[in-house]
Structure 1
Amino acid sequence: MFKRSSSIFYNNNQRKYRKGLASAIAIALLLAAAVVFIWLREPLETPAPAELLEVPSVAKPKEEYDVIVAGTDPEGVAAAVSAARNGQSVLLVDGRNRDRLGGLMTLGWLNSLDPSYSPKKALLPGKHNFLNKGIFQQWYDRVEGTSFDIITAANAFRNLVANENRIDVLLKTQSMRPLVDHSSVARTVRGLSITLADGTSMSVQAKAVIDATQDADIADIAGVPFTYGREDLGEKDSKMAVTAVFRLANVTPDVWGKMIAREGVGHDGHSAWGYHDMWDYPTTDKTKVRMRGLNIGRQNDHSILINALQLFGVDPFDPKSVEQAYETARRELPLVVDYMKDKYPEFQQVELAGIAPELYVRETRHMIGEYRLSIADLLDNRDHWDRIGFGSYSVDIQSTSYDFRGTILMKPKQYAIPFRSIVPKEVDGLLVVGRSASYDSLPHGSARTIPVGMAAGQAAGAAAKLAAEHKVTFRQLSASKDIIEQLQRLLNDQGMELKPFRIDPPVYTKHASYPGLKAAVSMGFAFGGSQNDFELEDVSNPQRLVHTMLQVRQVHPDAFKGNPSEALEGIGEPDTAPLTLEQAAFTIALSAGLPTSPEQARSMLGTRQLLSAETMTTIKNPQKLTNADVYMMIRDVVKGMTGTVYE
């Protein structure tokens, strides 16, 4: 990539050189743009399929390592490679029946990335400026693009690991359990108890264990605290849908060309997305399955992988539930493919060619760590002093049931992942990377993406070196600005770009009612979409407020035990009538279980100091409250009733 030189751009004696260089760059950019334009317009012949390379696996591990990385998903590969490059002896071990590295990508067939791009655009067309570089970038440079062939991906992971002679890989173990020392002040993980493929068991000691399993299985057994699914929003039994990625064969270059030529379909070299009317597919069982718009990744064997079949009510910890999910997928997918053939001419010759060996599970455990990433972090585009990676991907909340299609909650510009968010509460000797790290369920919709997890994995591997050198626990390391600065320098030297940043405040942050908006988004009843349009100035209505207060009651059930629906009595059209200050105060008071009347509710809330003067001064029209007005009122009452401040 071309880098600016101060001598070129600021030395008046080199103007001719600058002019010539600028012309050369302009020509190069035009040529690159032309190449990219052709690349996007013309379907390419795919490369010949590669053979899957065998992963060298030890028959039996050593009795002791500096670091054990549990889990061979992308985050685990990054952690193991990082630890090895920092001089640590590493055991990379997996407790599933896997024959390759890469987990979700290579066996769950999730072959399309959700990268976090930098707000600063790349200079060259067709190039991506990722926020998280390092080991992720090194892997990415070995695959086809933002969608990739899963064999290419598996071989790239394999080669990253094979190039490090300090890593022992152990596959196909029957079980992994943490060795927990209870003798110290805090429980400390000292290694793993491993049951090998032949049924024999052994204890493997380590100075540090990095949990890179998708569901933080090691941390859970060790006693680390978690919330589950949307429990932090009062919906413990609710979580985002599971997906069975499926393969379609006979997708020749001509067929691919017709797919990406369809109106409404976006695409790049190996990816396509669209076909949004697949939402209308008539599912056979709305309680278990539905289709959504298609996310398509091209393969090198003239097939495509499609991420679109959503499965509900799946417990990934219950083998019977997982098998039932596969049964549902096997029953539904032939009908889905027939529907596609009838609806889209370009699908007429394709054939169903398989379902991913592993399910794509988006959400289970959410660790409670030294810092829990909040949606306010994303709204504010916050940097953190202990940054180890960055996110900018949209907060993508997928379907939780047939009736909820999901939503884009908002789109951050850039936010930092703190090191503290991979350090668990109550247990030492352990770091947790990947989607089950310490993120609230809402920011998890963005931070769960694999490039973010690989950045966390790389940081974890380097932190193991520093913790050993300084003879500190990970918790102590997480509180030391000096050691964190050493960690950041080390990561920067190894390809990351962890620098402080500042994002110009978005428009919504300048609104007088922004504190109320933060509370509303945090409790899950305000959505901005990809354009961050939170409709703050739209006039609210009595029915909407009732729905909102039911959500507040779900999040704070101990403080809001009343029935807000009682406030609708006598209102003819509550979904169209403007919401007055009197009606809003009455509805909120009823929700909080405070006895009052419509006429007295406002003064009563004021007397109890549940409405602030700041909020009252932002209300411009008491006869037509806006969403912003309502959010501020709710923010005040929640703070007064529960002590919770969403900052």
Structure 2
Amino acid sequence: MKRRNFVKSLAIGGGAVLSGGIPGWEPFARTGERREADVIIYGGTSAAVTAAVKAKQLGKTVMIVCPELHLGGMTSGGLGFTDTGNKAVIGGLAREFYHRIYLHYEDAKSWQWQQKEAYGNKGQGTPAIDGTNRTMWIFEPHAAEKVFEGFIHENGIAVFRDEWLERPHGVQMKHGQIISFKTVKSNVYAGKIFIDATYEGDLMAAASVSFTIGREAAGVYNEKWAGVLTGVFHHDHYFKSRIDPYKIPGKPSSGLLPGISGEAPGAYGSGDKKVQAYCYRMCFSSHPENKVAFPQPSGYDPTQYELLVRVFNSGWRELFRKFDPIPNLKTDTNNHGPFSTDYIGMNYLYPDASYTQRKQIIQNHRNYQQGLFYFIATDQRIPREVQQEFNKWGLAKDEFTDNENWPFQLYIREARRMVSDFVMTEQEILGERAVTDSIGMGSYTLDSHNIQRYVTKEGFVQNEGDFGVAVPKPYNISYRAIVPKAAECQNLLVPVCLSSSHVAYGSIRMEPVFMILGESAATAAVMAIDNKSSVQKVDYAALKNNLLKQQQKIG
């Protein structure tokens, strides 16, 4: 989508506001205004969209206020190879999203670079296209964004974009409730119920709601997979060969290679404030007319990737394992292997960082990945057969067209997590303890990416923090996990940075689940408004009945 066309599309629905954040565009948004609605949603994720749609469908006025220009978070930001788990437990507006994706690809015009019959229909544990249920689970980024913008347009939802919460003191509270919040443009948004649908939990934090960052120790919630997990290798994201970590092999005094920590990883099972690695999910294209050569980033330094050379020299050849196919000869390319797109250890400060600090962390991740791709594409030390195969790919020319074909959204796999009266833990996910107030279901594997890269006692490099534990059956997610403690805030719902341990969040943090929880949060918000009650006092039996009417799957 061209820039001017994107501006036009954002104006649809009467509530979209852009600022001058993109070069060449004049700001539409005025500053110093006060805007009011029944439900105010902060954030532009997939959960924000489903929450807004449901609140509007249930008869309330609603606004999305978000830092983003593009809606959908990771769903429209490159994660097109959906982590479905058991798709039978995906209902409501989430299933409607995947139905609309199906309809998009039923149109022959959507297959510009590939015949539909040649696509292959590969999905993650399920066929990509489910003709029986008229859903499609694998898609291109622009297709997802089109569906989200369609939801917004059809429902006439006001979206105020490039609006950043004034942190940390932008929230006005009175008698345990949020009255309004102010953005850095001095606009004020007042409402009856607020929903924090960000990946970071910024509104929650600014309202002084309790949260945590990092990993709990194993003893906090009696979880087997909690804390530091040295020697645990559930996926292929670890060093299988003994690889020297030093700039000059065998010489510690030469210093460590980039990306390797000189600190000890910590005792097994101990907690820390470290966060699982982030990366960009990449949309590559192999069609000659629709691919852009991997650019050399500013400040490119090939020494940053010396460790990858040593991995290849050890015989590793799994580079293309996570080039998952999406329509039109494209990929959703995710991290894979011991040294890949995950920028391990470089995001610890992100969850609680200032906007300026976050911007730098985000740019560092982009530089790292752009440099990695350029290195693989051009450096003479890359095995010839690998380099030749890699150069069949490039950035997709028709994706992220106003961002140099680079994804808009960094994959914030985990940031803040609320700490409420009820915390989802390993026991609920694995079915060892029942949830009696379900508002949605999850089913994906307990899954964390690596958290640190260190030197073992034997003197070799290793990764730590990655785990993958099968979930025996779909599990219920508690309503109490998305509401704060009543003493802290009575009119806020948190469907993304919900109350969960690090281990449990490894399964909950999937995009379909966020859409489900966003819709359920909005349903509860409407009930709280109608009954003039706090979100904590919403009658669960009535909420359950309403969710079932909306075809949510709640166990």
Cα 1:249–1:88, aligned 2, differ >3 Å: closer, same or farther?
A: same
Matched, 1:163 2:195: no
Following the alignment from structure 1 to structure 2, what is the Cα–Cα distance between the partners of residues 361 and 372?
A: 21
* Correspondence for 1:310 among 339, 342, 346: 342
Structure 1 pair 140–349 and aligned structure 2 pair: CA distance change class (3 A)? same
Give the conservation status (yes or no) of the 8 Å contact 1:291–1:310: no
Q: Does 1:404 align with 2:463?
A: yes
TM-score, normalization by structure 1: 0.56
Report what 1:427 is aligned to. Answer: 489
Q: Tell me how far 1:433 sits from its aligned partner.
A: 1.2
Q: Is the 8 A contact 1:148 1:298 kept in 2?
A: no
Judged with a 3 Å threshold, the aligned counterparts in structure 2 of structure 1 residues 176 and 493 are, in CA distance, closer, same or farther, namely farther
Q: State the Cα distance separating 1:385 from its structure 2 match.
A: 1.9
| Amino acid in structure 1 at the alignment position of 2:191 | A
Match of 1:459?
A: 520
Q: 1:218 aligns with which of 190, 203, 209?
A: 203
**8 Å CA contact retained: 1:132, 1:497:** yes
Match of 1:85 among 57, 60, 79: 57
Letter aligned with residue 331 of structure 1: G
Instruction: Verify: 1:137 aligned to 2:180, yes or no.
Output: no
> Which residue is 1:103 aligned to?
73
Alpha-carbon distance in structure 1 between the residues aligned to 2:288 and 2:472: 38
Q: Secondary structure of the equivalent of 1:396?
A: strand
- Residues 1:94 and 2:63 are matched in the alignment: no
**Residue pair 1:281, 1:336 contacting (<8 A) in 2 also:** no
Summarize deviations over 1:187-217 as a string: whole Å, max 9, x none.
Answer: 321222134xxx4x23221000000011111
Alignment partner of 1:321 is 2:366:
no
Q: Which has the larger radius of gyration?
A: 1
Report deviation, 1:448. 0.8
Q: Distance in 2 between matches of 1:474 and 1:291?
A: 48
Instruction: Trace 1:256-405 onto structure 2 (pairs within 5 A).
Output: 281-282=308-309, 294-298=321-325, 302-308=329-335, 309-312=341-344, 313-314=346-347, 315-316=349-350, 317=353, 318=357, 319-337=359-377, 339=382, 342-343=385-386, 346-352=389-395, 354-380=405-431, 382-402=433-453, 403-404=462-463
The aligned amino acid for 1:491 is L
Q: Which amino acid aligns with 1:456?
A: L
Residue 27 of structure 1 corresponds to none
Report the equivalent of 2:279.
243
Local SS of the residue matching 2:59 = coil
Structure 2 distance, partners of 1:207, 1:191, is: 9
Query: Distance between the aligned counterparts of 2:173 and 2:276, measured in 1?
Result: 35
- Given that 1:72 and 1:213 are in contact with CA atoms closer than 8 Å, whether structure 2 keeps it comes out as yes
Amino acid at match of 1:437: L
Counterpart Cα distance in 2 of 1:458 and 1:225: 23
Query: Which residue identity does 1:397 align to in structure 2?
Result: S
CA distance in 1, matches of 2:310, 2:409: 22
**Residues 156-177 of structure 1, C-alpha deviations (whole Å, 9 max, x = no match):** 0111121113x21111224456
C-alpha contact 1:68 1:208 (8 A) present in aligned 2: yes
Who is 2:500 aligned against? 439
**CA separation of 1:341 and 1:383: change in aligned 2, threshold 3 A:** farther
Secondary structure of 2:503's match?
coil
Deviation, 1:142, is 1.6
Q: Which residue of 1 aligns with 2:109?
A: none
Q: 1:325/1:487 Cα in 2 relative to 1: closer, same or farther (>3 Å)?
A: same
Native 8 Å contact 2:275 2:415 kept in 1: yes
Among 196, 204, 207, the residue aligned to 2:192: 207
Task: Find the aligned partners of 2:158 and 2:440 in 1 and give their Cα distance.
Answer: 27
Match of 2:243 in 1: none
Q: Deviations over 1:308-367 (max 9, x none)?
A: 211122233322233222222222222234548623865453235554233112111111
Q: Go from structure 1 to structure 2 and tell me whether the alpha carbon gap of 1:114 and 1:340 turns closer, same or farther (over 3 Å shift).
A: farther
User: Which of residues 62, 68, 73 is equivalent to 2:40?
Assistant: 68
Asked if residue 415 in structure 1 is aligned to residue 472 in structure 2, the reply is no
Structure scoring higher RCO (CA < 8 A, sep ≥ 6) equals 2
- State the Cα distance separating 1:470 from its structure 2 match: 1.5
Aligned residue for 2:179? 190
**AA at the equivalent of 2:476:** A
Provide the rounded CA distance (Å) in 2 between the counterparts of 1:192 and 1:460: 19
Map of 1:173 onto structure 2:
163
- Give me the CA root mean square deviation: 3.0
> Could you say what secondary structure the match of 1:223 adopts?
coil
Contact 1:136 1:454 in 2 (8 A): yes
Distance 2:288 2:434 in 1: 46
Alignment length (residue pairs): 393
**Per-residue CA shift, 1:449-474, capped at 9, x if unaligned?**
11111111101111111111221101
Asked if 1 retains the 8 angstrom alpha-carbon contact of 2:448 and 2:468, the reply is yes
Q: Which has the higher helix share?
A: 1
Maintained 8 Å contact 2:165/2:181: no
- 2:83 aligned to which of 87, 107, 114: 114
> CA offset at residue 116 of structure 1?
3.2
1:114 positional shift: 0.9
Counterpart code for 1:328: Y
Unaligned runs of 5+ in 2: 18-28, 103-135, 218-226, 228-269, 292-306, 312-316, 336-340, 397-404, 454-461
Query: Aligned partner of 1:407: which letter?
Result: F
AA aligned opposite 2:195? I
1:487 corresponds to which of 536, 540, 543: 543
Q: Tell me what 1:270 maps to.
A: none
**Structure 2 contact 199–414 (Cα < 8 Å) conserved:** no
Gap regions ≥5 residues in structure 1: 1-50, 118-128, 256-279, 285-289, 478-482, 500-647
Q: Which amino acid aligns with 2:40?
A: I
State the SS of the aligned residue for 1:327: helix
Between the aligned residues of both structures, percent identity stands at 24
| Matched AA of 2:83 | D
The whole-number CA distance in structure 2 between the counterparts of 1:416 and 1:193 is 35
Q: Does structure 2 retain, via aligned residues, the 8 Å contact 1:219–1:432?
A: yes
**Contact 2:34/2:187 (8 A) holds in 1:** no
What SS class does the counterpart of residue 143 from structure 2 fall into? helix
> How high is the TM-score relative to the length of structure 2?
0.65
Which secondary structure state, in structure 1, belongs to the residue aligned with residue 375 of structure 2? helix
Compute the displacement of 1:247 (Å): 3.6
Moved more, 234-243 or 212-221: 234-243
Give distance in 1, aligned partners of 2:420 and 2:383. Answer: 45
- Tell me if the contact between 1:132 and 1:451 (Cα under 8 Å) persists in the aligned partners: yes
SS at match of 1:244: coil
Deviations 1:45-71 (A, max 9, x none): xxxxxx968233155676321000111
Q: Tell whether the 8 Å contact from 2:48 to 2:518 is kept in structure 1 after alignment.
A: yes
Q: Which moved more, 1:340-349 or 1:300-309?
A: 340-349
Aligned residue for 1:498?
554
The answer to whether the 8 A contact 1:244-1:311 is kept is no
Deviation at 1:180, TM superposition (A): 4.4
